[in-house]
Amino acid sequence: MKKMCVTYQCDFKCQCPIDPELVDHYTLLVEAHAIIVVEDLHELLASYAEKTMFQEDITADIASRFVQIGKVTTSGFHSGVKTVCTVEIVNAKG
């Protein structure tokens, strides 16, 4: 049996939940076991631009939106500290 891994990487923005004057910039890396329509991914990421969310919540939200996803990683800087958050979907079948 063959196993496919498709990697998607892009940047997106979200309002800082601590300081409403700041816009947080993130890099997204998605590893999927099947094709994700990039326009759907782009639409989801664009929706975060007007939202106020923590990076960890964004990462979990992205992971929950597409059944094809195996792993989601976001990275960004907050007050000069690089923060990396990863959600890995563990299939119950192993």
Tell me the pLDDT of the chain (94 aa) as tens digits. Answer: 778 899 999 999 999 999 888 899 999 999 999 999 999 999 999 999 989 999 999 999 999 998 888 999 999 998 889 999 999 988 634 4
What is the SS3 assignment for 39?
helix
- Domains present along the chain, CATH in parentheses: 6-88 (3.30.1130.10)
The number of beta carbons lying within 10 Å of the beta carbon of residue 18 is 11
- If you search the block for the tokens 């939940």, which residue do you land on? 17
The CA radius of gyration of the chain, in Å to the nearest whole number, is 14
Nearest residue to 54 via CA among 12, 9, 14, 11: 14
pTM (2 d.p.): 0.88
d(CA 74, CA 12): 10
